């Protein structure tokens, strides 16, 4: 990933010198806080099909789970309500409507048959237009107010399709309990949402995490230096995360290997903190984005759990996240 934020050309009579500038700060606000996440998708995702009058409805061009419906009769739609309204307005005499959908970044059209059952027109489609969940705030850049979280992309769980952000926000939430992890079965954090207390916008959802602008005040006493990739070492480190209420705590881990060539799985680690293992059993869902600290510097974030050995997982270099976050400016 190219993390060079700005290119300035100085033009002289004969020469042109490119100057590459990294925009992110070398000291950032340490995260670890639990956050709620809400995203409105750029369209409506098909997550399944149901029978109407004994038949599945998949259109003239066969629709599939994961297809993103973006238009009805060439009118843009972004929500289930808009999809329903446009269908009702545009039903033709053959009980069909023309829909546009995206699959594998390519646009297609098909006629969608509509079936009347008990005087109600039905599509036969299960669809979703938004998601809500929890994660961990990784960092805030104090200069740009850009934040990063998760360290991986958000996928719609039924279709495994990437969520394309139309609008989104992060908001306050607190941990109410933990479903513990067991080998073969990762657990998860349970949370209470306070979606009225919005912390910031979500501008994009990428393989390196979600990014946006942080709107609230933050504690400048939580500044921490960013480690370069070559400063990361095998051995002792710490993750910062919440396992109860809103309390960010430090837990010891052991970095077992480093892979600078991997796109996203740069750090392998194992949890060795007895308190955390007793509380969670290992890595649980909701820890994604938890910052990893070594020798007083932030080196990366937690991204994945190894399902068959839940006390182990992977992390992403913090510099990769910072580079990606800078692209929203």
Residues with a catalytic annotation lie at 152, 273, 288
In our burial notation (b when 16+ CB lie closer than 10 A, e otherwise), range 103-119 reads eeeeeeebebbbbeeee
Residue 281 backbone class (left: φ over 0; alpha: ψ -120 to 50; beta: rest): left
Calculate the alpha carbon distances from 105 to 66, 102, 130, 327 in Å: 12, 6, 19, 21
Q: Radius of gyration of the chain from Cα atoms?
A: 23
Closest CA to 302 of 243, 214, 218, 225: 243
Rounded to whole angstroms, how far apart are CA atoms 253 and 188?
A: 19
DSSP 4: -
- Residue 155 has a CB neighbour count (10 Å cut-off) of 14
**256 Cβ contact list (under 8 Å, min separation 6):** 234, 268, 269, 270, 312
């Amino acid at each position: 990933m190219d993390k060079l934020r700005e290119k300035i050309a100085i033009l002289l009579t004969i020469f042109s010198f490119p100057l590459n500038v990294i925009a992110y700060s070398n000291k950032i606000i340490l995260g670890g806080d639990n956050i709620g996440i809400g995203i409105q998708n750029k369209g409506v995702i098909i997550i399944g099909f149901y029978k109407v009058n004994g038949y599945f409805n998949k259109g003239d061009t066969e629709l599939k789970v994961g297809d993103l419906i973006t238009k009805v009769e060439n009118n843009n739609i972004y929500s289930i309500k808009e999809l329903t309204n446009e269908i009702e307005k545009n039903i033709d005499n053959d009980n069909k409507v023309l829909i546009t959908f995206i699959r594998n970044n390519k646009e297609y059209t098909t006629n969608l048959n509509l079936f009347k059952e008990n005087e109600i027109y039905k599509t036969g489609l299960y669809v979703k237009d938004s998601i809500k969940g929890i994660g961990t705030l990784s960092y805030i850049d104090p200069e740009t107010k850009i934040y990063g979280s998760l360290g991986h992309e958000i996928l719609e769980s039924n279709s495994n399709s990437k969520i394309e952000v139309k609008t989104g926000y992060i908001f306050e939430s607190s941990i109410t309990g933990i479903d513990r992890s067991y080998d073969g079965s990762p657990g998860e954090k349970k949370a209470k949402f306070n979606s009225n207390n919005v912390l910031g916008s979500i501008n994009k959802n990428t393989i390196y995490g979600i990014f946006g602008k942080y709107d609230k005040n933050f504690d400048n006493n939580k500044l921490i230096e960013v480690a370069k990739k070559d400063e990361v070492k095998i051995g002792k480190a710490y993750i910062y995360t919440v396992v109860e209420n809103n309390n960010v705590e430090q837990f010891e881990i052991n970095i077992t290997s480093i892979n600078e060539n991997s796109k996203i799985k740069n750090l392998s680690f194992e949890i060795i903190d007895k308190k955390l293992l007793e509380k969670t059993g290992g890595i649980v869902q909701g820890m994604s984005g938890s910052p990893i600290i070594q020798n007083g510097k932030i080196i990366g974030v937690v991204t994945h759990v190894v399902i068959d050995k839940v006390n182990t997982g992977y992390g992403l270099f913090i510099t990769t996240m910072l580079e990606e976050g800078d692209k929203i400016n």
